[in-house]
């Protein structure tokens, strides 16, 4: 049975968009979190875009003492040795694929979709982007890390081997250590992916320079 797509905030930059950006929020946020960024990302002269900001399901999160909040999967701790919620990650992957399928149904081909995310959402963007059997226009992972690294080699698909990836991280990030972002980048580079990498003197956040780099990336892959 097909999965129903998650509820989402949607912003269209012009009528009849033929390209989409699916943007996954971080832990405890919701689809409205990056909605204000759209005017900074849609540059003049770009084709009409549909930004899709889905709301992750509400679930108890171990990292926060079991407090229910929007999360793509459960998190025990943010370090490389912590157990990962594989069932939750797989369920989120299925939800993301349902969102891609919905865009296909609205006339947007997968190779005209950018999958993006911040923090936990960025980790999911990298996870699905490398394992999806259809080519995407691009993948963006902000202040994030690699998931289920042990299964990466066996599960990654050839479809996005040549798809551009943009990874960025704050050099003072106290939430997701910069080393985890570096590891995600190294994993992709070692596997032959094209990775654009930026660091910024900031914490677990987004800055104006980063938004400018993302806008240039979107212009390049969705032109």
What CATH number corresponds to the domain at position 120?
Answer: 3.40.50.1820
**Of 85, 119, 143, 169, catalytic:** 119
Domain-embedded: residue 2: no
Rounded to the nearest 10 degrees, the angle between the axes of helix 178-190 and helix 120-131 is 10
**Of 30, 33, 93, 173, catalytic:** 173
Question: What is the domain range of residue 98?
Answer: 8-222
The Cα 163–Cα 129 span in angstroms is 9
Nearest Cα to Cα of residue 56 among 16, 18, 96: 96
119 flagged as catalytic:
yes
Domain-embedded: residue 49: yes
| pLDDT value, residue 3 | 64
Low-confidence ranges of the chain (pLDDT < 50): 1
| pLDDT value, residue 104 | 98
Domain-embedded: residue 3: no
Eight-class DSSP state of 94:
H
DSSP string, 169-214: EETT-SSS-HHHHHHHHHHHHHTT--EEEEEES-SSS--HHHHHHH
Tens-digit pLDDT profile for residues 184-214: 999 999 999 999 999 999 999 999 999 999 9
Domain-embedded: residue 201: yes
Number of domains in the chain: 1
Tens-digit pLDDT profile for residues 30-56: 999 999 999 999 988 999 999 999 999
| pLDDT value, residue 2 | 55
**Of 18, 204, 205, 213, catalytic:** 204
| pLDDT value, residue 78 | 80
The answer to whether 180 and 160 are in contact (CB under 8 A) is: no
The Cα 150–Cα 31 span in angstroms is 30
Domain-embedded: residue 169: yes
């Amino acid at each position: 049975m097909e999965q129903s797509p998650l509820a989402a905030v949607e912003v269209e930059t012009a009528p009849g968009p033929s390209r989409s950006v699916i943007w996954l929020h971080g832990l405890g946020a919701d689809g409205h979190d990056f909605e204000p960024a759209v005017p900074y990302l849609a540059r003049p002269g770009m084709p009409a875009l549909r930004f899709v900001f889905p709301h992750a399901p509400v679930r108890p999160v171990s990292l926060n003492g079991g407090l229910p909040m929007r999360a793509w999967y459960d998190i025990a701790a943010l370090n490389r040795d912590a157990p990962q919620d594989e069932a939750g990650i797989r369920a989120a992957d299925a939800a993301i694929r349902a969102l891609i399928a919905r865009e296909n149904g609205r006339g947007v081909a997968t190779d005209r979709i950018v999958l993006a995310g911040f923090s936990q959402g960025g980790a999911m963007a990298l996870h699905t982007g490398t394992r999806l059997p259809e080519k995407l226009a691009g993948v963006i992972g902000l202040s994030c890390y690699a998931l289920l690294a042990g299964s990466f080699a066996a599960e990654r698909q050839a479809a996005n081997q040549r798809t551009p990836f943009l990874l960025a991280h704050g050099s003072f990030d106290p939430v997701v250590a910069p080393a985890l972002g570096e590891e995600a980048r190294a994993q992709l580079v070692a596997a032959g992916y094209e990775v654009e990498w930026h660091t910024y003197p900031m914490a677990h956040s987004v800055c104006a320079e980063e938004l400018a780099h993302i806008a240039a990336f979107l212009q390049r892959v969705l032109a």
